[in-house]
Amino acid sequence: MIVPISKNGVAVLTPKEWRLIENQLNADYKIRGNYLLHTAMRISEAVYVAEHKDCFRKENGAIFLPMVPGMGKRKCKQKERAVLLSPKGIAAVQMLYDTNTKLPSYQTMDLTFKRAAKEANFDIRTITTKMLRKTFITWLMACNPERQGMIASSAGHTNDTMQDHYITFGFKKDDVNEMRNEILKWGEA
């Protein structure tokens, strides 16, 4: 059984672990999963952007989130921001739009990701939809800790949050190399 690293009860996956889960998903959930992973947005933000294509600026390699009442965490420090993307992130957003794939409720997605993880032989106690956000931000920090401020701003976090939640992981060298491939050219539009 695979027991992923977790922080505060939420799994943080390596690229290999994500692929194991992704391989158990249907085509629509692969699109949803990669969209959530590579944008690293909160679920409510991801739903908003999925419904408001004008937020996505492919040429800028970013999503511009406006201040919308009720979107994001209540205590979120940044009410509007630019979510920076990698080429894989740009492709994930474009694929969501091109296929007109909708995001179901958080609970529905949670059950689907848990089912896929169970089929991939994971301990599912820390598997949740928000693991995708935490996973991608962790990959960014594991590979580029010197860009912490830029990562924090894109994620809608403070530097204190970044230090408390994202820089305490120890990964194998092979995992970090795969993470570098996943985040390649992030924020370099």
Query: Domain span at residue 113?
Result: 5-183
Give the β-pairing of 81-84 and 62-65. antiparallel
* Structure confidence at residue 71 (pLDDT): 65
On whether residue 188 sits in a domain, the answer given is no
On whether residue 122 sits in a domain, the answer given is yes
On whether residue 145 sits in a domain, the answer given is yes
| SS3 at position 161 | helix
Residue 74 pLDDT class (50, 70, 90 cuts)? low
On whether residue 108 sits in a domain, the answer given is yes
| Domain at 60, CATH number | 1.10.443.10
Q: Is 167 a residue whose pLDDT tops 90?
A: no
Q: How many CB atoms lie within 10 A of CB 9?
A: 9
On whether residue 115 sits in a domain, the answer given is yes
Q: What is the pLDDT of residues 17-37, one digit of tens each?
A: 999 999 999 999 999 999 999
Q: What is the pLDDT of residues 112-134, one digit of tens each?
A: 999 999 999 999 999 999 999 99
Work out how many domains the chain is built from and give that number: 1
On whether residue 189 sits in a domain, the answer given is no
On whether residue 9 sits in a domain, the answer given is yes
In this prediction, residues 55-61 reach a mean pLDDT of: 96
Q: What is the pTM of this model?
A: 0.93
The arrangement of strands across the sheet holding 62-65 comes to 56-57, 62-65, 81-84
